Amino acid sequence: MTGKSVAAYSTQAAEGNTTNAENAIYSPMEVATAVAFMVGIYQLLMYVFRMGIVCTLLSDTLVNGFTTGAAIHVLTSQVKDLLGLKITRYEGPFNIGFAYIEIFNKIEEVNTAALVVSSITIIVLAINNEILKPLVRKRSVIPIPIELMAVIIGTLVSTYINLQDEYGLQPVGDIPTG
């Protein structure tokens, strides 16, 4: 959610200096910091006014529906990458419906390599959560960092098999530190 605010309100400065306050330029870090600060202020105000009692008014059905809706939004934002498709980004009402219509219209263009890599990764993570974690928890207090191992193995496989050139899978690229 912070990423959406950063994308909407931050701009990359073309020049290093500006004196016009109307066209203020905010860096992504400044916007993210302001969002985090305001969320903290709201949470403190809600604590001071004992707004936690509102949670007792929210039914389990309402909370489950909200959680399911959030999960559908997350799945929709990731399904294009899981299938290796390039789809248009939709805004406004029915954006999820429009996204899925476009995905189903482009189903013939699915990148098989992306589908295989995604499927293997999801299956390994599911097996880890359902089978391996309970077994390891009984024998050791240190969990297996399967998510980190998936990233490392995926990076090595991508590099040595050359998934970008051979199969058209786009890597994330350089991730800046800090």
Tens digits of pLDDT across the chain (178 residues): 777 888 888 876 555 555 555 666 888 899 999 999 999 999 999 999 998 888 888 888 999 999 999 999 999 989 988 998 888 888 889 989 999 999 999 999 999 988 998 999 999 999 999 999 989 888 988 888 999 999 899 888 888 888 888 888 877 777 777 5
> 117-149, pLDDT tens digit by residue?
899 999 999 999 999 998 988 898 888 899 999
Backbone angles phi, psi at 111, to 5 degrees: -80, 110
Compute the Cα dihedral for 43, 45, 48, 49 and give only its sign: negative
Residues contacting 118, CB < 8 A, separation 6+: 81, 82, 83
CA distance 130 to 126: 6
Residues 46 and 85 reside in one and the same domain? no
On whether residue 25 sits in a domain, the answer given is yes
**Would you say residue 8 lies in a domain?**
yes
User: pLDDT per residue over 99-109, tens digit each?
Assistant: 999 999 999 99
* Domain coverage including residue 66: 58-110
Look at the pTM and tell me if it is higher than 0.85: no
Residue 100 is assigned to a structural domain of this protein: yes
| Burial class (CB within 10 angstroms; exposed 0-12, middle 13-18, buried 19+) of 79 | middle
Assess whether 126 and 160 both reside in one domain.
Answer: yes
* Same-domain pairing of 43 and 68: no
CB neighbourhood size of 22 (10 A): 5
